[in-house]
Chains A and B, each alone.
Chain A
Amino acid sequence: AQSVTQPDIHITVSEGASLELRCNYSYGATPYLFWYVQSPGQGLQLLLKYFSGDTLVQGIKGFEAEFKRSQSSFNLRKPSVHWSDAAEYFCAVDALNTGNQFYFGTGTSLTVIP
């Protein structure tokens, strides 16, 4: 079965610094990959998605992610972090079965310090 690993439970960065959140997946074929953000007490908001084609995908709020098949990774990046980016970030992979449900990683909590 597909699975997603987010190795970093918690990351702290200074405002204005660059950010990279790691995501590794296990799946035999080309996966459908997603990044979501969750602010405290809120639902999940889609940041970006990858299905095929260009391996560098752009999302909302200045985020981008790069699909690397050789490393089974889909890392999320942002060149300059804003205080409002503090949240929980989840990587997800589509099960690509009859239900097309998502399998989520355990999440990475981002703290931004001024």
Chain B
Amino acid sequence: EPEVTQTPSHQVTQMGQEVILRCVPISNHLYFYWYRQILGQKVEFLVSFYNNEISEKSEIFDDRFSVERPDGSNFTLKIRSTKLEDSAMYFCASRALGAGNQPQHFGDGTRLSIL
């Protein structure tokens, strides 16, 4: 069964540095998402992406965050000027066309640790 893959599994970065989290969504999916989960808390929506543009974003997704689909397969989340509170598990998800009737498929996540 196709899977969403995320790299790296664990990223350690110094506060203030930039970090890029990478995701390869399922190949025929058209909707892409990033979520985060702070340790012990619920999964929170960051951003959705469709047709090469952001369709929705949450308050968490401030101007330090950006997403990109640089080629036909990767979907990246960039965080500039990282803060300690960015430490969390970040999940990528993708969804097929007909989004309202399709579940999201999640990757195993990237654990981001800001020191």
Contacts and interface: CB of A to CB of B under 8 A. Distances in A.
Interface string B18-56: 000000000000010101000001111100101000011
B106 A99 contact: no
Contacts of A99: 31, 33, 48, 50, 55-56
Contacts of B56: 95, 97-99, 101
Interface residues of A, number: 26
Contacts of B45: 95, 101-103
Q: Which secondary structure dominates where chain B touches chain A?
A: strand
How many B residues are at the interface, by size bracket? Answer: 20 to 34
B86 interface: no
B42 A104 contact: yes
Contacts of B91: 43-44
A43 B95 contact: no
A100 B48 contact: yes
Nearest to B58: A101
Contacts of B99: 100
List the 8 closest A-B pairs by CB distance, nearest first: A99-B56, A99-B48, A100-B99, A43-B108, A44-B106, A99-B55, A104-B43, A106-B42
